[in-house]
Structures are given as structure tokens and as C-alpha cells.
A = this chain, B = another copy of it.
Amino acid sequence: STKPLKKNSLFSNRGMTLEEDINESNAYYLSRNLAVIHKKPVPVQIVRVDYPARSAAVIKEAYFRQASTTDYNGVYKGKYIDFEAKETNHTSSFPLKNFHAHQISHMKQVEEHGGIAFVLIRFSKTDELFLLPFAALYDFWLRMTDGGRKSITKEEIENRSRSLKLGLSPRIPYLQAVDHVYF
């Protein structure tokens, strides 16, 4: 039997994490020779490894470490690209506790050396996605460390970001936003 196409199923990200969507988009960009951008592996501290005879080594004890940098980096149009992806269930603001101080330092260093740093923020409830340049994020971060609010309002994000339309191929065409903001 043929199932009716679910309403909005092509564009909805139900069942797909932001990370999966970005990985798919990066694979698309790579296959079209448009950019070379990869997710960094999850940092893990390996404590104990078994080497069974005639089969692959098995990690038997390891721990998640805090990432010292961001999720994604690579090269696009000769520029170093570095970004973090974040999702929130909040609807009217984005909490800054989603970032660690060392991630902010890292992105600041990247920009000081001529790289491009930004955040892709998804509001999960409404499936809205924004590219927030690091310069804007840093303003809000400093406002917080100066004693101000601990989040960015949705309106502030709308004003300082480039909104992304979700697509089919790639699902998250974030390089269009990069072109618009940085090139």
C-alpha cells in the first residue's frame, strides 16, 4: 500500500537532530566541491583498551571530556570557517549558558586570526534557524558578564542574525547565509 505523504514531512526535521542535518549539508557541500567542512569527533578520554586476539581493539573504559573548541570547522572560499550548533526548546529567548567560556574565547581567537566564526541556532519548537555571527554573540556575552541578562531575546536574534530557510539538498543551506554576511 502507498502511504500518503505526511504533511510537511519533506521540510520538517522531526526525527533529525540539528547535528544530523548539518552533517548531511556538509556532505552535500563536499560532494559538490563547494566547501570542506567537517564535524569534529566527540572528545573522549580513553582509559582502558582491550586487544582481543584476531579482532579489533575495544575501548572498555572512557569518559566524555568537555570540548575545548566548537563543533565544526573547515575551509570555504579560502576562508577558515568555525562554528557551533545549538538547539533550544525555549521560544522567546536563547540562554547563554549553552556556551562555555572557552568556546567564546576560541571563537574570538578565530576571528582575531582572520577566520569566520558563528553559531547556528535552532528554535526547535518552531523549527526556525538562524546564523548568528560571533561579533553579535560576543556583544550579548559581554552584556551578561557585565551583569546584564543571561540570554539573548528572540527579537535580538532576529535583528542580528541571518535567518535560514530549510531546504532539501542541502537541508541547511547555511553557506548562503555565510555568503550574505561575510562575502
CB within 8 Å of B: which residues of A?
Answer: 1-5, 30, 33, 35-36, 38, 40-44, 46-51, 56-64, 68-69, 73-82, 106, 109-110, 112-115
Q: A38-B68, A59-B64, A73-B73 are in contact. Are A47 and B5 (CB under 8 A)?
A: yes
Q: In the bound complex, do residue A42 and residue B44 qualify as a contact, i.e. CB atoms below 8 Å apart? A: yes
B80–A75 CB distance below 8 A: yes
Given A33-B109, A62-B62, A73-B73 in contact, is the A51-B3 Cβ separation under 8 Å?
yes
CB distance from A101 to the nearest CB of B (A): 15
A119 → chain B closest CB, angstroms = 17
- What's the number of copies of this chain in the assembled complex? 2
Contact for A46 among B42, B61, B81, CB less than 8 A? B42
Min C-beta distance of A112 to chain B, whole Å: 7
**A59 contacts B48, CB within 8 Å?**
no
**Interchain CB contact under 8 A, A36 and B78:** no
Hey, which chain B residues are within 8 Å of A33, CB to CB? Answer: 109, 112
